[in-house]
DNA sequence: TCATTAATGAACACATCGTTGATTTATGAT
DNA sequence: ATCATAAATCAACGATGTGTTCATTAATGA
């Protein structure tokens, strides 16, 4: 045994703990979960849990870290030249399509953690991720002068709006395809909520 | 003693518990708070806590309920004829100004509960409130045909965006006035994020 | 096959919980 | 000012969860 983590027992133990975590969040919400609950559901010794995690918060943090890492990975797989094009009005941005696809792959956990009983700090991380890898790059050429509102508020507006739509999508159990969803977001952001609603005829 | 709650002791006890709650959320976050912490900080007997609340979650719920009630109250004080006008482009909507003012009045608690360590279910209630009392009334005349995207997603987009800007405002310790903030939101929602950013010249 | 390491089982001291019953204190009505 | 009532206190309870320990068993990979 030795170089680079590969003991099957460790992999298995971590997996059953993660699975138990998802089940239990669904059953009673993260706050009400005890380490006892986790190890009973996972059918492992309670001491074994502490071999891998400090406490339940450490477990949550690490599972969230993995989700964020997974998002960073798919960023690198995209062609950096065509990801951020603002003039493709009727074509959803590849970044957004990939984001929805990734969320769909982890739908059960994402729905819980981004839902009303989820973790607001994770929502924050998602917004930061969109800001750093998406919004800021689209607006990279912008100087302050052309902005009608402070840039921080514009960024907060757009990132929160995107997350809100993602949450709504998960809440409704993903009736639309990732592609459709990306298109919806592009439409609203490009034309504006009022215009999309038919309130602004100009 | 008798009809309708007025015993000074009860009022005082509830107040010191609420104050202790705010302090402790700031210190260690809601999850790490114990009933012991609360009663020690409030300098009351632990049994007294259970005379008024079932547990710490009941306490949180009830303090959130009061904030929501306060929001419903200010709705009724507004002139229903001038609250929702979509053609007042450079004039912030009275509803939004009042909302920012109300949040400012409860800034310390709001910042905590709407922040990264806050309560996502309360964020949900705020969004529902905006949706029921603001967004839906503005869009009341709309029929499905003029919409470019599903109405649920448009609503989620706008309410989440508004909340996101509120969070950003609290995070930065409210440098702008309620009036300025309302104007920022109206501008982005009316002209659209892309136009406000200077990306769409048309 | 076998040294290594993960997982188990049992026990520990400690903390918090929610409740109880007896007692003291503050309150509002008369 | 008096006094019945209700709120708050105090001390104790059994129960449950925590995080850690140590000796033992079982699985793993070389």
Q: Using one digit for the tens of pLDDT, what is the confidence trace for B50-100?
A: 999 999 999 999 999 999 999 999 888 887 666 655 555 566 789 999 999
Share of chain B above pLDDT 70, in %: 89
The answer to whether the Cβ–Cβ distance between B152 and A142 falls below 8 Å is: no
- Cβ contact (<8 Å) for A165 and B188? no
Give the closest residue to A35 by CA, choosing from A27, A44, B11, A26: A44
In the predicted structure, residue A86 carries a pLDDT above the cut 70: no
pLDDT for position B1: 43
Shortest CA–C1' contact from B45: which nucleotide? D9
Inspect the interface and report whether the beta carbons of A117 and B120 lie closer than 8 Å. yes
- Average pLDDT over all residues of chain A: 91
A50: the nucleotide nearest its CA (via C1') is: D19
Q: Which residues contact B70 (CB under 8 A, 6 or more apart)?
A: B102, B106
Residue A15 scores a pLDDT above 70: yes
Q: Which residues contact A138 (CB under 8 A, 6 or more apart)?
A: A84, A86, B199
Predicted pLDDT of residue A92: 77
CA distance to partner chain A, nearest, from residue B83 (Å): 16
Contacts of B153 in chain A (CB under 8 A): 165, 168-169, 184, 188
Residues 6+ apart with CB under 8 A from B38: B17, B20, B21, B24, B49, B56, B59
How many CB atoms are closer than 10 A to CB B8?
7
How far is Cα B127 from Cα B150, in angstroms, rounded to an integer? 18
Task: Give the residue with greater pLDDT, B2 vs A147.
Answer: A147
Please say whether the beta carbons of A165 and A84 come within 8 A: no
Cβ contact (<8 Å) for A165 and B142?
no
What pLDDT, on the 0 to 100 scale, is given for residue B93? Answer: 86
Nearest CB among A119, A163, A189 relative to B193 is that of: A189
Tens of pLDDT, residues A124-176:
999 999 999 988 888 877 766 778 999 999 999 999 999 999 999 999 999 99
* Beta carbons of B83 and B93 less than 8 angstroms apart: yes
Residue A112, pLDDT score: 98
């Amino acid at each position: 045994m030795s170089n680079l983590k590969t003991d099957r027992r460790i992999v298995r133990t971590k997996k059953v703990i993660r699975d138990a975590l998802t089940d239990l969040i669904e059953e009673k919400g993260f706050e009400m979960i005890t380490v006892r609950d986790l190890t009973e559901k996972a059918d492992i010794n309670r001491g074994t849990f502490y071999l891998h995690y400090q406490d339940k918060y450490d477990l949550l943090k690490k599972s969230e870290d993995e989700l964020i890492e997974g998002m960073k990975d798919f960023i690198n797989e995209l062609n950096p030249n065509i990801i951020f094009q603002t003039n493709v009005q009727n074509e959803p941005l590849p970044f957004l399509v990939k984001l929805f696809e990734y969320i769909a792959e982890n739908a059960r956990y994402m729905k819980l953690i981004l839902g009303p009983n989820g973790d607001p700090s994770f929502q924050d991380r998602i917004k930061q991720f969109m800001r750093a890898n998406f919004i800021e790059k689209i607006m990279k050429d912008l100087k302050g002068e052309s902005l009608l509102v402070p840039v921080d508020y514009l960024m907060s507006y757009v990132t929160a709006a995107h997350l809100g739509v993602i949450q709504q999508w998960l809440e409704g159990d993903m009736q639309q395809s990732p592609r459709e969803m990306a298109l919806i977001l592009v439409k609203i952001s490009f034309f504006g909520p009022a215009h999309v609603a038919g309130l602004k005829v100009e």
